[in-house]
Amino acid sequence: MSAAIEFRNVSFGYEGVPVLDNVDLNIEKGEFLGIVGPNGGGKSTMLKLALGLLEPDHGQVTVMGRKPVQGRAMIGYVPQFAGFHRDFPITVEQAVRLGRLGLAPVVGGYRRADHEATRRAMHETRVFDLRRRTLEMLSGGELQRVLIARALVSNPDILLLDEPTANVDLRMEMDIFELLRDINRRATIVVVSHDIGFISRYVQRVACLNRTLICHTTAEITGEVIERLYGRPMRMVSHESRLPAGRDG
């Protein structure tokens, strides 16, 4: 299998403060990879390097064998925080369709293909019934589904997600990762998360990042590995898929 994204001896820092130090990582086509680590460990920075929003101080990043600025058209990106205010007067359908801006013609507006792709993405993420609601009317989990739909509407080969389940409840977290598992049948997925115990149920490998990076299969993730990553004793928490009696409605 060839690499979807490759980091070769990559180092990066902000104003002289090192964030990544000689990072090597091959993300294979079709892989579902989780990136975990403490705050400030470089997780979001890695995604921005893959998108070509940042350039490494040292080393090389490639996307489908190309420079990131050339390959990012093949990437769908779900940022950690929405890049717009929730009270902005835009509907779910309009927000999802924004993901087609780079594909629509400069003159003439959206085409039939753009509208059809928008409907497909909304159906897949189960937000079609919310299409006429404004963003301020959505719950946190519903908004996350809309952002995933916006990333999917361009039919990307790679999907990058930065903390896609932050501030959502366990049921919604499970729903989102089940959705990502389905999407992984056709796209490479890289997800940044703090919840190492939860994502280990879904991803194939875990990239443990704290300036330097070490990859593990999910079976290799132990309390000792986590303690080395975070620099202090940590516990693995098992998330049960069952809800308490009377809470399944």
Write out the two tokens for 135.
Answer: 């963003």
pTM to 2 decimal places: 0.85
Instruction: Determine the Cα–Cα distance for residues 106 and 14; give it in Å rounded to an integer.
Output: 35
What are the residues whose beta carbons fall under 8 Å from the beta carbon of 39, sequence distance 6 or more?
none
Rg (CA), the chain: 19
Chain-centre distance of CA 192, in angstroms? Answer: 6
| CA distances in angstroms from 175 to 91, 196, 248, listed in the order given | 22, 17, 14
Give me the percent of the chain exceeding a pLDDT of 70.
Answer: 83
Residue 3 has what pLDDT?
92
Instruction: Report the pLDDT value the prediction gives residue 241, as an integer from 0 to 100.
Output: 42
Q: Convert the pLDDT of each residue in 99-136 to its tens digit.
A: 998 776 655 678 999 999 999 999 999 999 999 999 99
Residue range 214-230, pLDDT digits in tens: 887 766 666 666 666 66
Domains of the chain: 3-230 (3.40.50.300)
Residue 95: is its pLDDT beyond 80?
A: yes
The stretch 235-249 carries a mean pLDDT of 42
C-alpha to C-alpha distance for 19 and 13, rounded to whole angstroms: 5
Beta strand 3-14 pairing with 58-63:
antiparallel
Q: What is the pLDDT of residue 195?
A: 77
